[in-house]
Structures are given as C-alpha cells and as structure tokens.
C-alpha cells in the first residue's frame, strides 16, 4: 500500500489548479458524462469532431478529487488534435501511464473515469435539441 | 493544536486495553503506528474474540441443530448460548426473539420482505428519514414498489438532528411502520428512539430501529424502548463479520411468514408443501453463520467487562475533543450537530479539497485510516450539497493522541492542496527527482 512514489506530483497539482480546457464547448458534436459511484467524482467531456474524425476541440468539466480532475485535464491535453482512431487506441494502461504515479485499484478508478467518459463520448453524438 | 489539556482525561479508558487488539500493534504500515479511525465501517477485534473463533474451529465445530454426535451438540450449545447472551445484552425478554442473520442489511431485508410484503397495502405509509444508511432505504423502496405502499421521509434540522415536529406531522393512521436509525453513521446524531417509538405506537405504527451504530457504543434496552424490531451487526462491535442480529417481538415474528426457505426453518416437508419451524429456527434457513454467532459471546463479554457506559464516556471525551479542535479549522465544515447530540464519530468536508485527498494523505503520511466517500448515505450527502465527506469514527481503543495525529494530517493536507497559483508546464519540464535525493524522499508516500 505505501508506494515509493508521490501520488501528488507537481505536474498533477499543476493540472488540477490550472486545468487544460476546463469548461464547456458550445460547438460540441459529441458529449458524455459519467460518475464514479464509489466517491461521486463526475466528469463530462464535450468534443467537436470534424467529418474526418479529427478532434477540432475538446473540453471537460466535473467535480471530484485531484486525481479524477487532473487526469481529465492531462488526457484532453494529450489528445488535442488527434483523431477518433487515436482515442480508441489509447488504452486504460496508456491512461495510467500518462498519469504517472502508480495508483491503488480504487484510485485507478478515479484516474480512469475521464478515460471511460472519453471512450463513450466519441460514440455519443449531441442531439441538437439537447445541446447545452 | 496542543490542546490535549482540554480533554476530559478522567473519562478515558486505560490505554492498556490496546494490547488486547493484535492488529493495532501489527506493523500494518511499515513501522508507522496505525491510527484506526474507521470504526463506524467495521471495528477491529480483541484477542479474546479471535481466540474463541480458533478454539471453536479447533475443538468444537460441527453443523448446528443437525447431529446427535458430540461436536454437533457442542456447537449447538454454544450457538444457543450466544443467542441467550445477545438477548440479555439488548434487554430482550426471550432468546427466541433473537434471529441470527448475515448482518444489519440482512435483518432489515428480512422485515421488509416478510413483514412488509404481508402487511402493506396501497395507501399505507412507511416512514423513514433522510439520514438513513442505504440499507434502511433501499429495502423499503423495494417493498413499497411491490406493495403499492408510500414511502415518506422525515427531514432533518439545520444542525443535522431529526426534525421531530415534522415527524409528528408525518405520522398518521396511514403510517404502518417507522424505520429509523438510532445513530446516524454520517452525522453522528443520536436520535430520541424512545420518544419516536412512543409517538409511532400512538398512531398504531410499528418501529424498526437500525441500531448498527448504537449497540456497539451505548446501552440498548429493547424492553424499555418497547422496540418492535431492532437490527445490528457483529462486526461493528468487536465481533466477526458475517453475523447480524434481528430482534423482533415474539408476537410479530410469530405472525410473519418465513423469509428464506430451506433446511432448518421447517417443521415438516412434503413434496407438496411444508410447515414452518418455531422461532427462532423459522427465520434461520440453511446453515447459519455458526462460528461468527458463537464468537459474539466473546465480543459481548469483552464489551461488558469494559462496560458500555465507560465506553460511551470514553468516546464522548474523544468526540468532544475532536469536535472542539476541528471546529477551529478555517474552511472545515463539520457535518451534524453539537457534541451533546452526537456520539463516536465526526464527519467533515472542505469546500476546496475532496475527501479522497484527506483519506489518501492521512493514510500514506500519517498512518490514519479514515473513511472518505458518501458512507452509504447518498441522499443525505445530496441534501447537504456534498458528493463526499471524510469521517473519523472512534471506539474504545482510540486515544486523544490519535485525534492529534488526525489534526496534524488535516493541517498537512490543507497546506498541500492550498491554491498557490500553479501553472501547467509542458511535460518535459517536470524533472523526475533523483532516487535518494532529499526531494525524492520528501515525495515518498508513507
């Protein structure tokens, strides 16, 4: 349980306090939101995809612990300008590696929340009427 | 933060009893003393309970109520002795009013399914409260959906106590059952159970008390309360997990159909039907949690040797001290009422720092085990405008120095996550500290 690594490394706290693309995307074509039932962490991701399946823009919003929110910021920064195929190929293991410090199974769920939301978002087109 | 002087030392139990709890002295955290403040979730157990479990398996174990052989007689005798001990411990008149279940959840579900499905009709009302654990909400939602009965909830006051005026207004001749916790596992509030039962009985309603958080910490007397049903768990009172208790008044239990069907709960079985056994076997289908139930004897013996009143005073001193210290921390919100209305636990939340951060850093750097999350009270957390909180819950082996360790940890978490105008940089600009350097050592999570 005690790990040899600091969970809250500088780059994580920086992402938490100064997140990449936290907010909403009025031009979103795809969006998804989910929560971690264990702790109530919530992440919503909004994507604007072009017809070729390229990410034109992406924003996240949410509430929760440092790991859930910083990992969302890191994920969107990492995938900025990439394609839907890149997203699909980006595995859970890649996400944990991007985050950095080793996490216990329960905290991995916090880290993987945004990854799960993103994987669902590419399959979740925004209904015109339902767009916010 | 060195206000140990403000604790009522005369109320404390001797520190020497910690030696009875092997896990408290085990090297759980690599040389870090363990500060176990998650007792509302499950307590630790003393050597006496652990030894009894081992002794039964080594010398006395067989299935109960089955054989004529020596071991079956021994285990049956001890199982029934435990039932009698539990009955005396909670003030029940008869040991056959004590049913062994899997836990508090199992006990509540037994009443919801057996009594609820038999007695509730459309238009009837079940009254519960917004401070209940999910285990005293979901079974009633299920039984309401099945029977057409209506579920209503008693609100809480601003400071987290049951709103007794609202309770009185919600009670009517439509109320068939009041399902209420004796102590909130999140707010720590001690509810006025005797008063609630008297008012409910006045309109002809029965009362089920979820006593999981009170039986371990204060004297329980179902006869004095005139309680209809009482549910609690072994693992929150120094006993093993896997066993719970349902107390029910004889007349009520007699009139209820069996819940689970199977072995033990029958008098006679034919291919086209069965006749149920008498109490308590009627509600104990299948092989029961034999050894956990027997080991409840050792847990109760231990609690009675220390004394429930002495335990309550000890915990109250710890809670008073923790509450006083926590209430001085800026930005910290204590959930629930003033110490005089609460017992054995304190939950808190910061607006800017998630409960997970507290639980993680308290564990990793300070050896303090607390609960972070919604504590199985999502509706209550939603009502409080929170998704999660951090809970420190005490028991007879906790010490004021452990509260200090908690406070020290909270201060460290506050400092660690205070906004300091951080800016994201590109990934390459974050050097990995050299292994063994002071920077690296400072980053090592304990």
| Interface contact A62, partner B, CB < 8 A | no
Q: Would you state the pLDDT for residue B133?
A: 98
Instruction: Specify the pLDDT at position B432.
Output: 57
Give per-residue burial for A100-113: e unless 16+ CB within 10 Å, then b. bbebeeebbbbbbb
Residue B5 lies in a domain: no
Determine, for residues B387 and A40 on separate chains, whether the beta-carbon distance falls below 8 Å: yes
Per-residue pLDDT of A65-88, as tens digits, reads 999 999 999 999 999 999 999 999
Burial of A37 from C-beta contacts in 10 A (0-12 / 13-18 / 19+): exposed
Domain identity same for B292 and B225: yes
The answer to whether the Cβ–Cβ distance between B444 and A66 falls below 8 Å is no
pLDDT at residue B5, rounded to an integer: 59
Cross-chain Cβ contact A67/B356 below 8 Å:
yes
Question: Minimal CA–CA distance to B208: which of B340, B280, B89, B119?
Answer: B119
pLDDT for B426 equals 73
A 95-124 near B (Cβ less than 8 A)? 107, 110
B328: domain CATH number is: 3.90.1150.10
B267 within domain boundaries: yes
Is position B37 within any domain?
A: no
Q: How far is A103 from chain B (nearest CA, A)?
A: 11
Instruction: List chain B residues with pLDDT less than 70.
Output: 1-5, 427-446
Query: Is residue B378 domain-resident?
Result: yes
State whether B97 and B168 are in the same domain: yes
Residues of chain B in contact with residue A40, where contact means CB-CB under 8 angstroms, are 373-374, 378, 381, 387-388
- pTM metric for this prediction: 0.91
Instruction: Looking at the structure, tell me whether residues B262 and B329 fall in a common domain.
Output: no
Judge whether B259 lies within some domain. yes
H or E element at residue B47: helix B47-55
**Could you read off the pLDDT of B328-369 as tens digits, one per residue?**
999 999 999 999 999 999 999 998 899 999 999 999 999 999
My answer on whether B313 and B300 are in the same domain is no
For residues B176 and B106, membership in a common domain is answered with: yes
* Cα A116-A119-A122 angle, rounded to 5 deg: 145
**Tell me: the pLDDT tens digits for A87-120?**
999 999 999 999 999 898 889 999 999 999 999 9
- Residues of chain A found within 8 Å of residue B354, distances taken between Cβ atoms: 39, 41, 64-66
Q: Domain boundary at B282, B304, B326, which?
A: B304
Mutate to test the interface with B, among A7, A39, A100, A101 (most CBs of B within 10 A): A39
Are B245 and B232 spatial neighbours (Cβ–Cβ below 8 Å)?
yes
- Do B92 and B201 lie in one domain? The reply is yes
B358 neighbourhood in chain A, CB within 8 Å: none
State the CATH number of the domain containing residue B290.
Answer: 3.40.640.10
User: Interior CA angle at B154 toward B150 and B155, to 5°?
Assistant: 130
pLDDT given for residue B8 in this prediction? 86
Element holding B84 (H helix, E strand): helix B70-90
Give me the residues of A, 67-86, that contact B with CB < 8 A: 67, 73, 77
Q: What is the extent of the structural domain holding B243? A: 50-304
Do B86 and B175 reside in the same domain of the chain?
Answer: yes
Which of B310, B288, B178, B194 is CA-nearest to residue B242?
B288
pLDDT at B438: 55
Which two three-digit tokens encode residue A54?
Answer: 């390229």
Q: B235 near B213, Cβ under 8 Å? A: no
Is residue A46 less than 8 Å (CB to CB) from chain B? Answer: no
The reported pLDDT for the residue numbered B436 is 53
Q: Does A1 have pLDDT greater than 50?
A: no
Alpha helices in B149-287 (DSSP H): 164-170, 193-202, 222-225, 250-255
Assess whether B298 and B396 both reside in one domain. Answer: no
Asked whether the beta carbons of residue B356 and residue A39 sit closer than 8 angstroms, the reply is yes
Contact B247, B222 (CB under 8 A): yes
> Does B333 lie in the same domain as B222?
no
The listed CATH number (3.90.1570.10, 3.40.50.300, 1.10.10.10, 3.90.1010.10) that belongs to domain A24-122: 3.90.1010.10
Do residues B280 and B218 both lie within one domain?
A: yes
- When divided into structural domains, chain B yields a total of 2
Task: Tell me, yes or no, whether B105 and B247 share the same domain.
Answer: yes
Of B353, B376, B392, B413, which one is the catalytic site residue? B376
Q: Which pLDDT score is estimated for A5?
A: 58
Interface of B with A in 13-42 (CB under 8 A): 29-30, 32
Tokens of B134: 């999910």
Q: Are residues B318 and B290 in the same domain?
A: no
Q: Is B360 on the interface with A (CB under 8 A)?
A: yes
In this predicted structure, what is the pLDDT of residue A2?
43
Is B22 part of any domain?
no
Q: Is B376 designated active site? A: yes
Residue B307 φ/ψ region, left for φ over 0, alpha for ψ in the -120 to 50 degree band, beta for the rest: left
Distance from the Cα of A5 to chain B's closest Cα (Å) equals 5
pLDDT for the residue B65: 87
Torsion angle (degrees, nearest 10) of CA B22, B28, B32, B34: -50
Q: Considering the domain boundaries, does residue B16 fall inside one?
A: no
């Amino acid at each position: 349980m005690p790990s040899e690594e600091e969970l809250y490394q500088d780059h994580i706290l920086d992402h938490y306090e100064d997140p990449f693309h936290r907010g909403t995307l009025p031009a979103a074509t795809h969006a998804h939101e989910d929560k971690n039932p264990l702790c109530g962490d919530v992440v919503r991701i909004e994507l604007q995809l072009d017809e070729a399946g390229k990410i034109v823009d992406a924003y996240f919003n949410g509430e929760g612990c440092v790991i859930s929110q910083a990992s969302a910021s890191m994920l969107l920064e990492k995938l900025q300008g990439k394609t839907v195929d890149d997203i699909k190929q980006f595995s859970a293991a890649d996400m944990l590696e991007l985050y950095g410090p080793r996490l216990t199974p329960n905290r991995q769920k916090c880290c993987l929340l945004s990854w799960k939301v993103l994987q669902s978002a590419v399959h979740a087109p925004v209904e015109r009427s339902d767009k916010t | 933060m060195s206000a140990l002087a403000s604790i009522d030392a005369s109320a404390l139990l001797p520190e020497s009893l910690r030696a009875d709890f092997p896990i408290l002295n085990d090297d759980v955290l690599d040389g870090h003393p363990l500060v176990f403040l998650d007792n509302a979730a499950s307590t630790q157990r003393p050597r006496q309970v652990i030894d009894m479990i081992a002794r039964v398996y080594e010398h006395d174990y067989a299935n109960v109520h089955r054989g004529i052989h020596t071991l079956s007689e021994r285990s049956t005798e001890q199982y029934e002795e435990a039932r009698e001990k539990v009955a005396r411990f909670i003030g029940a008149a008869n040991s056959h009013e004590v049913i062994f279940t899997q836990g508090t959840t199992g006990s509540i579900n037994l009443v919801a399914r057996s009594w609820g499905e038999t007695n509730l009709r459309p238009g009837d009302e079940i009254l519960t409260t917004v401070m209940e654990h999910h285990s005293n909400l979901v079974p009633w939602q299920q039984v309401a959906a099945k029977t057409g009965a209506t579920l209503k909830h008693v609100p809480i006051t601003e400071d987290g106590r049951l709103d007794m005026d609202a309770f009185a207004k919600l009670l009517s001749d439509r109320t068939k059952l009041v399902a209420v916790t004796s102590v909130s596992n999140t707010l720590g509030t001690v509810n006025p159970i005797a008063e609630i039962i008297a008012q409910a009985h006045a309109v002809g309603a029965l009362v089920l008390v979820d006593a999981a958080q009170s039986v371990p910490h204060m004297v329980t007397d179902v006869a004095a309360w005139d309680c209809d049903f009482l549910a609690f768990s072994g693992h929150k009172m120094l006993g093993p997990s896997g066993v719970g208790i349902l107390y029910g008044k004889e007349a009520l239990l007699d009139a209820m159909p069996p819940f689970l069907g199977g072995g033990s709960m029958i008098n006679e079985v034919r291919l086209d039907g069965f006749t149920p056994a008498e109490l308590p076997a009627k509600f104990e289908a299948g092989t029961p949690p034999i050894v956990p139930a027997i080991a409840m004897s050792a847990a109760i013996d231990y609690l009675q040797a220390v004394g429930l009143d002495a335990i309550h005073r000890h915990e109250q001193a710890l809670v008073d001290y923790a509450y006083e210290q926590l209430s001085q921390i800026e930005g910290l919100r204590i959930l629930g009422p003033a110490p005089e209305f609460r017992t054995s636990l304190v939950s808190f939340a910061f607006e800017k720092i998630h409960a997970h951060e507290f639980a993680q850093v308290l564990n990793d750097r300070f050896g303090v085990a607390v609960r972070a999350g919604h504590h199985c009270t999502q509706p209550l957390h939603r009502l409080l405008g929170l998704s999660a909180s951090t809970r420190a819950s005490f028991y007879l082996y906790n010490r004021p120095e452990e509260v200090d360790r908690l406070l020290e940890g909270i201060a460290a978490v506050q400092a660690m996550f205070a906004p300091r105008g951080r800016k994201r940089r590109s990934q390459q600009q974050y050097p990995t500290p050299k292994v063994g350097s002071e920077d690296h050592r400072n980053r090592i999570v304990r």
